[in-house]
Amino acid sequence: MKKNKLIFLLVCVLSIIDVKGQETKTLVIGQFDKPDERYAIEVAITDLFTRNGIPSVPSLNVVKQGADPSILAIDSIQAKLKQAGIDRIAIVNVRGYDRKFKLSDKETSLKETLRRTSIYHIYREEATSVSFEFIFYKDNKMTFRDILKCGNVSDRDSVIKRIRKKLPKRMAKKWS
């Protein structure tokens, strides 16, 4: 069963992404249980990255929906991704619904991070603020971690709208 998943993933990677003449890209992974939330975040972040000069691909183009994303930490898959022009992985998840959330100093491996499940959703009824964590990996090593706090949210669409507004500013200020 694992072998079939691995073969399917490799075929998907090679068929969707042009292997020759590509500059390096970032694979964007949204860690959310609900497929619609994962799709919304991955598409929004991929669009923002691309508009700001960071070529990127949503994980939905690489990993089959419902498949275990921890397969991306396997060395052979990493080599195939590199051949396809993907050399960085950006993982996005919700860390909490308050503005006081701080970054962790603990460095986690790609495999460990991919195995985590998110207990949070993009939006929660009682929340007026959402803190998103961005973790970047290159060669299976964490290279950067940041928190984006979106306040004054009232529904899922307002959260996406806030991300689209705040992330480019944050990228220009802290990520360069």
List the pLDDT tens digit at each of the 176 positions of the chain.
555 444 444 444 444 444 444 578 999 998 887 888 888 899 999 999 999 999 999 988 888 776 777 788 888 888 888 888 999 999 998 887 776 777 777 888 888 888 887 767 777 677 778 888 999 999 889 999 999 888 888 888 888 898 999 999 988 888 86
In the three-class reduction of DSSP (H, G, I as helix; E, B as strand; rest coil), residue 150 is classed as strand
| Residues forming a β-bridge with 25 | 86
Q: Domain with 69 in it: what CATH number? A: 3.40.50
Cβ 5 vs Cβ 67: under 8 Å:
yes
Q: Is residue 123 part of a domain?
A: yes
**Domain encompassing residue 137:** 23-174
Burial class (CB in 10 A: 0-12, 13-18, 19+), 92: buried
Q: Is residue 156 part of a domain?
A: yes
Q: Is residue 16 part of a domain?
A: no
State how far the Cα of 119 lies from the Cα of 9, in Å rounded to an integer: 26
Q: Is residue 136 part of a domain?
A: yes
Residue ranges of alpha helices (H) inside 65-136 are 75-83, 110-115
Q: Is residue 167 part of a domain?
A: yes
Q: Is residue 15 part of a domain?
A: no
For the chain, the domain total comes to: 1
Q: Is residue 10 part of a domain?
A: no
